Structures are given as C-alpha cells and as structure tokens.
C-alpha cells in the first residue's frame, strides 16, 4: 500500500502517517520524489484504507496488487536513475560497462583498460570469483583479482563492477568495487540478496536462466526491502531449446520491465549470445529497444582468454560498436555518458 502525500504536506503530517502505519503492524518507509512524497507500507495486513485517507496531508491511498511492492512501477512517479562514476542508468540514460570476463593478471587487465579508456569506458567489469559449471574450470583469482581490477581502474579513473558469490564476501567487496553483481545462478540466493539490502552500493541483478519476470522482480524486492533501492536489472539471456547461441536473448524484457517496474534494465549481449559476431547487432537492437545500459565483454587477445574468449570483443570492435551506439541512442531519446 502506498500513501501519497499532498504537495503541501508537512513533516508532521508525514511522520503521523508513518507512525500510524507502524501502529497497524506495517514497516513504514518514506520516499521523497521530485514531485511527491510517498509513504510505503511494507507488510501484508488487512486494513481499511479510509483510515489513512482521512489523515491530514494525505492525497490518496494506492493498493499495490503485485507481489513486488517497492520495485513496482506504481510505487514511485519517475524512473530510478543510478549514477556510478558519472555513468547513469535509467530514465533517459544508457550507461556502458566493458571489460574482460575474468581478471587473469595485472598486465592483461591494464592492457584492456588502457584500450577501453580511449573509448570513454568509465566502468570496468571483471570477475575475481567465477561460478563455473565444471568444478575443474578456472574459478578466478579471488581477492587478488579484486585488488588488481581496483588498482587498474583507479589508474584510468574508472569504476569497478564484479560478481559476488556469497554473503561472507560482502565486506571484502565493499573495499574494492563500486557495483556488486549478482550472477544468474544466484538470482534466488535469498540470504545473499537480504544481506545486499543492507549495503549502500548499487547491485546489478542478473536474470536467472529460467526465471520469469515476476520471479526476477521478486528477487529485486528482497534487496530493496532491506533498504537498498539501488538495483539495476540485467537481462543476460534465458535457457530455451535453441542451441546455436549460448542462450536466447529476451529483448522483450526491456519494454516489459519498463511497464512493470521503475528500475533500470541493462543488457548483457556477451553471455546472451556467446558469439563475438552476434554481440554488436544484439547490442544495437537493445539500445534501439530502449535499454538503460549494456555490459560487454572485451579482451585484447580473446583467443588466449582463460574463459569466454569466443564472446569477447576486441577493443577495436568495441570502439566501433560504441560509435554506432552514440548514433542510435539519441533516436530513441537516450543519452550515452
């Protein structure tokens, strides 16, 4: 339930509503938007909404019928915009993230970051802990990998995004990264989601291999219900019967999520397709469909990459794609920073 306040409601009015919600067994959370203040009633309780409509300063009471309350489009009047290192995701903005699948060494990371800095990349991606299907595959450099990517990113004035695997790693990640990424396999790791709700850093939440839109948004709700509203949804392809590509990129997710939620949605064309020559066309299609950002794998020598070299662009290919994105984005009302 949402209690929308009048534009001239006082702090006393707002506090009165919040206190009344608490007395009815709800958790009350106040959201100050650009044009209105909304008091969110978190919890499942049966109440007579007229009791709230009669309180001083209340404009209207809206019942949220979806299972996800905070992530729902109706819960706030404008799109959420998340700013990381000057790169914005959401509303009219389309943010770009690029870098290697995994951190292999300082030299490898530095070489890639140097090339990407010339293409205006301001957020560097790179895995230090790698969830792999096979237990015998490379699992990442761990904290040493985080140290490397942080050092390289600082050198080039970049932010850092990397994937976290479990709650025990949160303190470590807070020291090194600007965005914490939840991989597809952890989309419903609810203990991890709850803990990430307690931090004050953006979280990129990837869609599970077979997750519905509602399940995806409910996972976002776990994070937001803990107090962290800085959630970026990431479509990275879903599992279907088709085997030609690594996964099937569901571009329909862009307009659907924008209808259902105010959260930004970005696209990972690298994992979605698994094929280098498909990354650029799918990136352009995603931008044309109105996505709020892209996260793309780039490697200076993909043939020798430890993992996912086949889906990694060469730096010059990324730069060519970046130039095209800058041409397409304004046509759909997007700004690329």
Q: Domain residues for 263?
A: 82-336
Question: Does any domain span residue 299?
Answer: yes
- Which of 30, 63, 96 finishes a domain? 63
Q: What tens digit of pLDDT does each residue of 96-129 get?
A: 999 999 999 999 999 999 999 999 999 999 999 9
Gap between the Cα atoms of 300 and 216, Å rounded: 33
- Cα separation values, 26 from 14, 18, 56, 138, 298, Å: 15, 9, 19, 47, 47
Specify whether 47 is located in the same domain as 153: no
Structure tokens of 216? 């995806």
* Residue carrying structure tokens 């931090």: 199
Average pLDDT score over residue span 131-145: 80
Q: Flag whether pLDDT at 227 surpasses 70.
A: yes
Q: Flag whether pLDDT at 173 surpasses 90.
A: yes
Question: Does any domain span residue 189?
Answer: yes
Specify whether 205 is located in the same domain as 326: yes
Which CATH number characterizes residue 225's domain? 3.20.20.70
How confident is residue 54, by pLDDT bands cut at 50, 70 and 90?
confident
Backbone φ, ψ for residue 111 (5° rounding):
-65, -45
Q: What tens digit of pLDDT does each residue of 231-286 get?
A: 999 999 999 999 999 999 999 999 999 999 999 999 999 999 999 999 999 999 99
Which CATH number characterizes residue 12's domain? 3.30.70.1140
Specify whether 53 is located in the same domain as 182: no
Q: What tens digit of pLDDT does each residue of 309-328 get?
A: 899 999 999 999 999 999 99
pTM score > 0.95 for this model? no
Average pLDDT score over residue span 162-166: 96
Gap between the Cα atoms of 170 and 183, Å rounded: 15
What confidence score (pLDDT) does residue 41 get?
A: 85
Domain count, the chain: 2
Question: Does any domain span residue 73?
Answer: no
Specify whether 121 is located in the same domain as 269: yes
- Cα separation values, 257 from 79, 265, 292, Å: 11, 7, 11
Specify whether 183 is located in the same domain as 277: yes
Q: What tens digit of pLDDT does each residue of 81-96 get?
A: 999 999 999 999 999 9
How confident is residue 44, by pLDDT bands cut at 50, 70 and 90?
low
What confidence score (pLDDT) does residue 143 get?
A: 94
Specify whether 32 is located in the same domain as 92: no
Is residue 194 within 8 A of residue 182, CB to CB? The reply is no
Question: Does any domain span residue 74?
Answer: no
What confidence score (pLDDT) does residue 1 get?
A: 83
Percent of the chain with pLDDT over 70: 99
Is residue 182 within 8 A of residue 211, CB to CB? The reply is no
Structure tokens of 182? 């939840």
Average pLDDT score over residue span 32-57: 81
Q: Flag whether pLDDT at 191 surpasses 80.
A: yes
Taking residue 23's Cβ as centre, other Cβ atoms within 10 Å add up to 9
- Residue (of 62, 186, 190) closest to 127 by Cα position: 186
């Amino acid at each position: 339930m949402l209690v929308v306040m009048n534009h001239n409601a006082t702090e006393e009015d707002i506090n009165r509503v919040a206190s009344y919600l608490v007395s009815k067994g709800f958790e009350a959370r106040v959201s100050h938007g650009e044009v209105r203040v909304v008091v969110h009633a978190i919890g499942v309780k049966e109440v007579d909404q007229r009791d709230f409509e009669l309180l001083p300063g209340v404009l209207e009471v809206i019942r949220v019928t979806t299972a996800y309350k905070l992530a729902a489009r109706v819960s706030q009047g404008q799109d959420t915009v998340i700013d990381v290192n000057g790169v914005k995701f959401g509303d009219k903005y389309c943010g770009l993230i690029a870098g290697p699948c995994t951190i292999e060494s300082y030299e490898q990371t530095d070489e890639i970051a140097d090339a990407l800095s010339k293409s205006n990349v301001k957020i560097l991606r790179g895995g230090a802990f790698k969830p792999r299907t096979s237990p015998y595959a490379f699992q990442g450099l761990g904290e040493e990998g985080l140290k490397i990517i942080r050092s390289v990113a600082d050198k080039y004035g970049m932010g850092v995004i990397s994937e976290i695997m479990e709650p025990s790693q949160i303190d470590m990640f807070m020291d090194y990264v600007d965005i914490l990424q939840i991989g597809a396999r952890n989309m419903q790791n609810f203990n991890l989601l709850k803990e990430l709700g307690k931090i004050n850093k953006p979280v990129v939440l990837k869609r599970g291999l077979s997750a519905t839109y509602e399940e995806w948004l409910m996972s976002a709700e776990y994070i937001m219900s803990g107090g962290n509203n800085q959630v970026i949804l990431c479509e990275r392809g879903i599992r279907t019967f088709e085997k030609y590509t690594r996964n099937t990129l569901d571009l329909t997710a862009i307009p659907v999520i924008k209808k259902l939620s105010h959260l930004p949605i970005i696209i990972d064309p690298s994992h979605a397709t698994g094929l280098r020559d498909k990354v650029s066309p799918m990136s352009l299609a995603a931008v044309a469909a109105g996505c709020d950002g892209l996260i793309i794998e780039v490697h200076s020598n993909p043939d020798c990459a430890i993992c996912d070299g086949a889906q990694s662009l060469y730096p010059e290919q990324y730069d060519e794609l970046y130039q095209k994105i800058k041409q397409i984005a304004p046509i759909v009302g997007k700004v690329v920073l």
